[in-house]
Chains A and B, each alone.
Chain A
């Protein structure tokens, strides 16, 4: 009989849950992790990682198509979608296996099944684990962390069927590149799939309800992305909605409302990427003091739910729905349980976000509009890729780095980027923010030449009227 009493049980093996479990084990807790499907969660298996594998393929394909610009010849450039998808799945498998190894190394006991809160007993909180209606185990622990994640939101009448209407899971294992693709939603997920399939040749239409795409980003970045995508032939419909989807034999007829006008269009496939909902069902929340608000578990800044000894982290605990936010919450939550001194709640203004469309976008902190809404007087710096030697040498002259400083204190309050490799650049500003550097330290920092990072320097200089190369 396996051990059933633990110091901590983590429900969910995604980037929030498994990181929390490992951190708890480091802090000498006896830890159980309950996961029904796949270690690594959506991120590793059906999200961040496999999409990056797909997008890498489409990026290289794009570069090969433009080989001539680099003085290279690449005749008959083509792709094998099955092989692309196969590579993506292999990447996920490899990393998921890696998580299993890490949990084993840290002596975390993994239970394969669904966990359900089951009241309080003499040995603490109880959790029932079962799979396929068969009981797996009944566990007890002083503390339980719920890290059950989220899933795609389904719109009535537009439910994914895996054939004509895809959700992200189906899109990740697509069996064809549709001739005409409709992507509903222009958040990170929607725009990444649109970018992937469009690069591979799908005539792609993106429909966004609000007035601009990637609405979580700074408006200037949204505008630049839209300009870039439409120039490459993508159709972007903003302030637009999909009224109905009518499935035919091998096509879907969509009724779109664009700018108050109704139009009917035919597509071969539709990807629905209209946000996510938290996985709050069948985990035993009923009858507890845990409250759920619009499919997300309500917690305080220390990730505590209304029920003593029960915590919630990651997507199920609310936005931003980002793997790194989930992981960080997992660590914070476990350290709070362990009584670690000097902890501070996560500052949402310092969580970076990256979207891997082409061109990439990345940001951290406040957008210009948010900063002004908060009453901040801001100094804005901008530097275009055109002014950067490395960008020109890479053949990537398109993009912008924008920074926002509090004019009063010199605090870096926001950074917004679009262009090649910006997802790797953003962390420089993330560190600067966490260390609370002002413009003075950033100006004094020597940036290596020739790098794309130099634009980060120039953008700071520009905010204070000192830009050199533009």
Chain B
């Protein structure tokens, strides 16, 4: 009876993944620990090791297959003594790898999750993932280290997985952790050689190898820019009322919050998406998915890239709670301490470059989300009111939407509602 090799779950929340490539071919002998294939998730590419010994009898899921469900068989392993005839009559024990299209007729929108747990493109990898970790299809084996070595490593902030053991059977002992230096050893970027003739006549450069996060940002944003038909809608909103309200709220004695302009924007976006749910959508080839809840992803710059922590069900949050949560998420994002479920998902993204003085800008949509709002700086500008020139604090908002699921008039309805909410912010307080 051949052994089924199953699609591993590389993170607790992973439901699907892409089979990037096979490291073995049918007929290859493998032993436990051999790398057999690479699985790509939204966060990283991971190597999968064989758990059993045998010969690869049949590859069921070809390289390049996307959205392979966790625990579906991807290959068959022949045990010692079995030959290819053992494969005859094999029927897969689990559902086919490709997920069925969501049954729009039956499934209520509320039950339709994003077809793949996709991290926002601006935040494709956890900040710490600087090298592809090796994942075993089974729980990874324990690190053998003496109790003393463990304690010294903990004191030094040393990751034992990065230490090579010199004791019996590779056990990590005191001398190993004493010799090792703290900090991820993998952080030393591999040296790269650039042979592209395009750079032949360019000035001297230093080449920094692409981190996994950088590779994924590049890949997914290219994919989005190429495959998603973007269009932009721009409005200027006056925020003097909002600033006054903010001042009043933050000035309240005993306030346990410090609400930012961006917090108002996030809240207003969530509220507007509630009012115009046709913009809280995702496009698939089979159906338009309209989400029952608004989860706002907020772009946060971190070392070496971006990450987008998510405020779940932002529309139902009070301003103070929302503001405090955003502050907490952004802080932990910069410290690299977000849990995967805190930056995966999200139905709509808010990106704010106002603090850099940027007047307005266009963003690239973060698939499979349907839209992203770019927030510029709030600045005093001359405005014409009742035929007379006056001064107001104005902020430029630019919406980018996926035209496959959101049309111009729908987008306009959303941004009109958004403008109305921001200019009458008291409504956000009810």
Q: Show the binding face of A for B, using Cβ within 8 Å.
A: 342, 344, 408-411, 435-438, 440-441
Q: Interface residue count for B (Cβ, 8 Å)?
A: 12
- The total of Cβ contacts below 8 Å across the A-B interface reads 29
Contact B151 A438 (CB under 8 A): yes
Assuming the A-B contacts A409-B151, A409-B155, are A436 and B174 also in contact, with contact meaning beta carbons closer than 8 angstroms in the complex?
yes
Given A409-B152, A409-B155, A441-B147, is A436 in contact with B168 using a C-beta cutoff of 8 Å?
no
Further 9 A-B residue pairs, CB within 8 A, beyond A436-B148, A437-B146: A344-B166, A344-B175, A436-B147, A436-B174, A437-B147, A437-B148, A438-B148, A438-B151, A441-B147
A440 to B151 CA separation, bound complex (whole angstroms): 10
Are A436 and B155 closer than 8 Å at their CB atoms? no
Query: Does the CB pair A411–B168 fall under 8 Å?
Result: no
B166–A436 CB distance below 8 A: no
CB-defined contacts of B175 to chain A, threshold 8 Å = 344
User: Do B151 and A410 touch (CB < 8 A)?
Assistant: yes
Tell me, in angstroms, the Cα distance from A342 to B151 when the chains sit together. Answer: 23
Query: In the complex the two chains form, what is the Cα distance from A435 to B173 in whole Å?
Result: 8
For the complex, give the distance between the alpha carbons of A344 and B175 in Å: 11
Chain B residues within an 8 Å CB radius of A438: 147-148, 151
CB contacts (< 8 Å) of A435 on chain B: these are 146-147
**Residues in chain B within 8 A of chain A (CB atoms):** 146-149, 151-152, 155, 166, 168, 173-175
Residue of B at shortest CB range from A435?
Answer: B146
- Closest-by-CB residue of B relative to A406 is B148
Q: Which residue of B lies closest to A347 (CB)?
A: B175
Question: Complex formed: what's the CA distance from A410 to B147 in Å?
Answer: 9
Hey, which chain B residues are within 8 Å of A436, CB to CB? 146-149, 173-174
Q: Which of B146, B148, B149, B174 has the most CB of A within 10 A?
A: B148
Complex Cα distance A437/B168, Å? 15
Q: Inside 8 A of B147's CB, which chain A residues have their CB?
A: 435-438, 440-441
Contacts of A410 in B (CB 8 A): 148, 151
Chain A: minimal CB distance from B297 (Å):
44
Majority DSSP secondary structure for residues of A touching B:
loop
The interface residues of chain A lying within 8 Å CB-to-CB of B151 are 409-410, 438
CA–CA, A437 and B146, complex, Å: 7
> How far is it, in angstroms, between the C-alpha of A441 and the C-alpha of B147 when the chains are bound?
8
Cα distance, A344 to B171, chains bound together (Å): 13
What are 19 pairs between A and B in contact, CB < 8 Å?
A: A342-B166, A342-B168, A344-B166, A344-B175, A408-B155, A409-B148, A409-B151, A409-B152, A409-B155, A411-B148, A411-B174, A435-B147, A436-B146, A437-B147, A437-B148, A438-B147, A438-B148, A438-B151, A441-B147
Q: Closest residue to A442 on the B side, CB-wise?
A: B147
A409 surroundings in chain B (CB, below 8 A): 148, 151-152, 155
Q: In the complex, A435 Cα to B171 Cα: how many Å? A: 10
CB distance from B151 to the nearest CB of A (A): 6
Contacts of A408 in B (CB 8 A): 155
Q: How far is the CA of A438 from the CA of B177 in the complex (A)?
A: 15
> A441 to B166, alpha carbons, bound, how many Å?
21
A441 to B145, CA, bound (A): 13
Ranked 10 nearest A-B pairs via Cβ: A436-B146, A436-B148, A438-B147, A411-B148, A441-B147, A437-B147, A438-B148, A436-B174, A409-B152, A438-B151
Taking CB as reference atom, which chain A residue is nearest B174? A436
Give the CA-CA distance A190 to B148 in the complex, in Å.
38
- Cβ-closest chain A residue relative to B145: A436
Give the distance in Å from the alpha carbon of A278 to the alpha carbon of B32 in the complex.
53
Report the Cα distance A436→B147, complex, angstroms. 6
CA separation between A188 and B20, bound complex, in Å? 70
Which residues from chain A contact B166 at a C-beta distance below 8 Å?
342, 344
Min CB distance A428 to B, Å, is: 16
A436 to B166 alpha-carbon distance, docked (Å): 13
A440: chain B residues at CB < 8 Å are 147
Docked CA distance A411–B177 (Å):
14
Q: How far is the CB of A40 from chain B (nearest CB, A)?
A: 29
* Cα separation A437 to B151 with both chains bound (whole Å): 10
B401 to chain A, nearest CB (A): 59
